Structure 1
Amino acid sequence: MTPSDPHRKAERVNMLVLIALTLGGALICALLALPFSGALTWAFTLAVLFSPLQSRLEKYLRSSNLAAAVTVLAAIIIVAAPSALVVNRLLHGAVSGAAYIQSELSGGKLQLPSFLAKLEQQVDVSGLFNQLVTTLSNTGASFLRGSLRQAIEIILTFYILFYFLRDRKAASQAARGLLPLNEAETNQLFERITGTIYAIVYGTIMVAILQGVLAGLMFWALGLSAPLFWGVVMSLLAIVPVLGTFVIWIPEAAYLAWEGHEVKAVILALWGALVVGEIDNVVRPILVGNRLKLHTVPVFIAIIGGVLLFGTPGFILGPMAVTITLFLLSIARRRTLGPTP
Structure 2
Amino acid sequence: MAEIVDSTGASLEDRPQWRLTGVIFFGILALLLLYAAYLIIAPFMTAVLLGAILVTLTFHLFARVRTRMHGNSTRAAIVMLLLMTVIIVIPAVILGILLVGQANVVVEKLQSGEAQQMIGRIDLTRSLGWIRRIAPNFDPATLSPQRMLLPAVQQIPGWVARHGGTVLGGIAGMVLGFALVLLSMFFFYVEGESIVEQLSVLSPLPKQYDREFAARFKDVIDATFRGQLFTALAQGIATGIGLAIARVPGAAFWAAVAALLSLVPMVGAAAVWVPAAIYLSIAASMGGRPWWQAIFLIVWGVLVVSTVDNIVRPWAMKGKAQLPAIPLLFAVLGGMQAFGFVGLVIGPLVFSLLMSIIEIYKQSFRLPASGTTIA
TM range (shorter): 0.7 to 0.9
Structure 2 CA distance, aligned partners of 1:339 and 1:131? Answer: 73
Contact 1:95 1:137 in 2 (8 A): no
Confirm whether residue 317 of structure 1 aligns to residue 346 of structure 2.
Answer: yes
- Report the TM-score, using the length of structure 2 for normalisation: 0.78
Aligned equivalent of 2:138:
none
Aligned equivalent of 2:304:
275
- Report the TM-score, using the length of structure 1 for normalisation: 0.85
Contact 1:68 1:162 in 2 (8 A): yes
Aligned equivalent of 2:107:
99
Shift of 1:84: 4.3
Structure 2 CA distance, aligned partners of 1:164 and 1:339? Answer: 44
Structure 1 CA distance, aligned partners of 2:50 and 2:209? Answer: 25
Contact 2:120 2:146 in 1 (8 A): no
The equivalent position to 1:24 in structure 2, one of 28, 32, 35, is: 32
Give the letter aligned to residue 208 of structure 2: A
Aligned equivalent of 1:184:
208
Structure 2 CA distance, aligned partners of 1:199 and 1:184? Answer: 22
Aligned equivalent of 1:38:
46
Alignment of 1:140-219 (within 5 A): 142-219=166-243
Structure 1 CA distance, aligned partners of 2:222 and 2:336? Answer: 18
Shift of 1:310: 0.8
Shift of 1:208: 1.5
Structure 2 CA distance, aligned partners of 1:208 and 1:105? Answer: 36
Shift of 1:106: 8.7
1:291–1:11 CA distance, 2 compared to 1 (3 A): closer
Confirm whether residue 336 of structure 1 aligns to residue 365 of structure 2.
Answer: yes
Between stretches 55-64 and 22-31, larger displacement belongs to 22-31
Contact 2:223 2:317 in 1 (8 A): yes
Structure 1 CA distance, aligned partners of 2:122 and 2:279? Answer: 14
Structure 2 CA distance, aligned partners of 1:147 and 1:339? Answer: 61
Confirm whether residue 73 of structure 1 aligns to residue 82 of structure 2.
Answer: yes
1:147–1:36 CA distance, 2 compared to 1 (3 A): same
Contact 1:41 1:317 in 2 (8 A): no
Confirm whether residue 9 of structure 1 aligns to residue 17 of structure 2.
Answer: yes
Please list the CA deviations of residues 14-38 of structure 1 after superposition, one character each: whole Å capped at 9, or x if unmatched: 3223222222222222232221121
Confirm whether residue 248 of structure 1 aligns to residue 277 of structure 2.
Answer: no
Give the letter aligned to residue 33 of structure 1: I
Kindly, what percent of the aligned residue pairs are identical?
Answer: 23
Structure 2 CA distance, aligned partners of 1:88 and 1:243? Answer: 21
Confirm whether residue 307 of structure 1 aligns to residue 348 of structure 2.
Answer: no
Please list the CA deviations of residues 238-289 of structure 1 after superposition, one character each: whole Å capped at 9, or x if unmatched: 3466763234323322332332345533432343244313322343133213
Shift of 1:290: 3.4
Aligned equivalent of 2:281:
257
Root mean square deviation of aligned Cα:
3.2
Give the letter aligned to residue 279 of structure 1: V
1:219–1:114 CA distance, 2 compared to 1 (3 A): same
Give the letter aligned to residue 204 of structure 1: Q
Contact 1:196 1:292 in 2 (8 A): yes
1:106–1:222 CA distance, 2 compared to 1 (3 A): closer
1:227–1:121 CA distance, 2 compared to 1 (3 A): closer
Aligned equivalent of 1:64:
73
Structure 1 CA distance, aligned partners of 2:218 and 2:358? Answer: 18
Contact 2:235 2:308 in 1 (8 A): yes
1:87–1:276 CA distance, 2 compared to 1 (3 A): farther
3-state SS in 2 of match to 1:278: helix
Give the letter aligned to residue 209 of structure 1: L
Confirm whether residue 52 of structure 1 aligns to residue 60 of structure 2.
Answer: yes
* Structure 1 residue runs without a partner (length 5+): none
* Structure 2 residue runs without a partner (length 5+): 1-9, 126-140, 370-375
Shift of 1:169: 1.9
Q: How many residues align?
A: 337
1:139–1:264 CA distance, 2 compared to 1 (3 A): farther
Structure 1 CA distance, aligned partners of 2:360 and 2:148? Answer: 66
1:309–1:110 CA distance, 2 compared to 1 (3 A): same
